[in-house]
Amino acid sequence: MDLSERVLELGTEEALAVAARAAELEAGGRDLVRLDLGEPDAPTSPAVVEEACKALREGFTRYAPPLGWKPLREAIAREVSITRGVAVSPEEVVVHPGVKPGMFYAAAALLGGEDEAIVPDPGFPIYPSAARFAGARVVPLPIREENGFSPDPEELRSLLTPRTRILFLNSPHNPTGAVVSREVLEEICALVRERPRVVVVSDEIYSRILFDGVEAPSPLAVDGMRDRVVVLDGFSKTYAMTGWRLGFSVWPRAAVPAIERLVVNTVTCTPPFVQRAGLAALRSEPGEIAGRVAQFRRRRDAFVAALRAVPGAKAMRTQGGFLLFASLGGGDDRALARSLLEEAGVACVPGSSFGARGEGWLRFSLVAPVPRLEEAAARIGTWVRGARSGRGA
């Protein structure tokens, strides 16, 4: 079959390939510390599961409205209004199966063959995939360690051109866990306001998981940006609902009819019983989320301390999300990740799978209890010392 270049140029998520290999090893009896997927290890709340079962029993098995079930859109609008500090109406909310459709809808709605999309590097690999699939040119925005893995507004200024249509932002950031400060965000938005064709596509999937009093402001709430921002979010991370595939996006109201057509042409709708589960999740007690965040903070603190004790290791102190970016002294991160998996029994993702600027780094997910994280660091330390001893011989 002669496949199209557009399909062949699509990227992928290397975390899924690492997970597949780890599953093979586990099936063969290997004991692995799995820190590969960005998937909470906690189960979905029993109340959420029960609501989905109840919905199934009540016949929520037919088509739903393409834009989403009205009660869920209303609840999402309330939640976004509270958490972002800006009034959002249900008519601006689009529900879809996971967050990735929102990325592709934004690319399809805004990009053409003469356009450019600026993407963070390192960054989530589906941003450039979606942009290329829409026929646009991808322009990497370096996310540098010396800037705390936050975008540099002056560097962004140098990349903006008359062809720029989309700027992808992600805060808290995957893979580094860095958060864009309000000051930097204001500078970025000032640059965008000078260019009427540029839209910020803001991936805020980790925005409820923050540490040490850090805030992750949304560009949606910045003055003059209300109609220049698409917010992407979902239920996977905050509510431990990765397999449910439930996401949403917030659009300028005038764009929603066009996005509805994209939904109709791709997925028709999001399963209604899953939407009922999402409504139950939004009604969760605030203490449930706070408890998960506190647990991730304890894990971060323990794993950073343990990794920093490994000779030559450098571990960034995650500000948000449950991801940790670390280096064992640079080198071929893909070979290193393979060796850690196959030889040390620790599954992680090579930083270069997130872009050229991730080379020499590794991404770990804080999705194991503290003792297992400390065990992972111990295994890494043993492997590093053995590898260096072997090279010295």
Please report, for the domain that includes residue 190, its CATH number: 3.40.640.10
Residues 86 and 223 in one domain: yes
Has residue 50 been placed in a domain? Answer: no
Burial class (CB in 10 A: 0-12, 13-18, 19+), 135: middle
Report helix angle 256-266 to 100-110, nearest 10.
Answer: 120
Domains contained in the chain, number: 2
Q: Give the tens place of pLDDT for each residue, 138-158.
A: 999 999 999 999 999 999 999
Query: What was the pLDDT predicted at 391?
Result: 47
Half-sphere exposure of 71 (CA within 13 A, CB side): 12
Whether residue 270 lies inside any domain: the answer is yes
Q: Is residue 197 part of a domain?
A: yes
CA angle at residue 118 from 115 to 119, to 5 degrees? Answer: 135
How big is the chain by its Cα radius of gyration, in Å?
Answer: 21
Same domain, 88 and 101: yes
**How many whole angstroms separate alpha carbon 337 and alpha carbon 340?**
5
Final residue belonging to a domain, choices 282, 298, 315: 282
Instruction: Write out the H or E segment, with its range, that includes residue 279.
Output: helix 272-282
Q: What is the pLDDT of residue 285?
A: 86
Identify whether residues 336 and 235 lie together within a single domain: no
Query: Tokens 């991808």 map to which residue?
Result: 138
Q: For the chain, which ranges sit under pLDDT 70?
A: 390-393
Same domain? For 126 and 269 the reply is yes
| 209 & 75 share domain | yes
Residues 365/36, Cβ–Cβ less than 8 Å: yes
Residue 63's SS3 state is coil
By the 10 Å C-beta count (0-12 exposed, 13-18 middle, 19+ buried), 39 is classed as middle
Helix (H) or strand (E) holding 55: helix 46-57
CA 4/CA 9 separation, integer angstroms: 9
Q: Does 18 map to a domain? A: yes
- Out of 282, 300, 324, pick the residue that ends a domain: 282
Residues 6+ apart with CB under 8 A from 109: 255, 258, 259, 262
Residue 330: its pLDDT value, please? 83
Residue 178 falls within a domain, yes or no?
yes
Of 282, 308, 328, the last residue of a domain is 282
**Among 362, 372, 262, which Cα is nearest to 312's?**
362
Q: How far is CA 29 from its chain centroid?
A: 31
Q: Does 38 share its domain with 72?
A: no
Answer yes or no: do 204 and 339 share one domain. Answer: no
| Residue 101 Cα to chain centre, angstroms | 13
337: domain CATH number is 3.90.1150.10
For residue 17, the enclosing domain spans 5-44+286-384
User: Do 123 and 238 belong together in one domain?
Assistant: yes
Do 218 and 292 fall into the same domain? no
Residue 24: its pLDDT value, please?
98
User: In this structure, is residue 54 part of a structural domain?
Assistant: no
* CA atoms of 293 and 309, how far apart (whole Å): 25
Q: CA 54 to CA 145: how far, in whole Å?
A: 48
The answer to whether position 49 is within a domain reads no
Q: Contact at 8 Å (CB) between 12 and 335? A: no
> Is 392 inside any structural domain?
no
Do 140 and 221 lie in one domain? The reply is yes
What region does 325 belong to: left with phi over 0, alpha with psi -120 to 50, or beta? beta
Could you tell me if 105 and 29 lie in one domain? Answer: no
Q: Are residues 333 and 313 in the same domain?
A: yes
Contact 20/253 with Cβ under 8 angstroms? no
- Pairing of β 93-96 and β 116-121: unpaired
Residues 27 and 268: their CA atoms lie apart, in Å, by 37
